[in-house]
Amino acid sequence: MKALRRLLGLAEHRFALGGFGRDAGTTSVIGEGMTLKGELHGAGPIVILGRFEGDIVVEGTITVGQGGYVDANISASTIVIDGVVRGNMSADTKVEIGSTGALTGSVKSAALTASEGATVKSEIWLERTAKPEPTG
């Protein structure tokens, strides 16, 4: 399975695909050539290689792969963009935009990274989560 993922360009570290075939942490994939409209709610990781329009709320990581297109409001722990995303995003941990990624919309997250070559047209709020006060 790892060789097939490498052949298709689905690197485990980039798409969190280590969970294939296991009950815990199984990755859901919207494949290339697929188009879905509506609401997506649940636990990640999720990889979008096709097209999605609507709203996405995921506890975990959502990755829009190269060639993927998302026109949606997204809420997730981590959002990785290597394709095209239009919409408002909220990420608990971070938003990562790869060199082939394009983002149009607002971002609220604890961290944001954009690789050289990424396209970003956005209003950005970076807010670190408050650390608990030490006791004693």
Query: Which pLDDT tens digit goes with each residue over 35-55?
Result: 999 999 998 799 999 999 999
Q: In the predicted model, what is the mean pLDDT of the chain?
A: 84
SS (H, E, C) the chain: CHHHHHHCCCCHHHHCHHHCCCCCCCCEEECCCCEEEEEEEEECCEEECCEEEEEEEEECEEEECCCCEEEEEEEEEEEEECCEEECCEEEEEEEEECCCCEEECCEEECCEEECCCCEEECCEEECCCCCCCCCC
Q: Give the residue-averaged pLDDT of 65-71.
A: 96
Spell out the domain ranges in the chain: 27-126
Query: Which pLDDT tens digit goes with each residue over 76-132?
Result: 999 999 999 999 999 999 999 999 999 999 999 999 999 999 999 989 998 876 556
Q: What is the pTM of this model?
A: 0.77
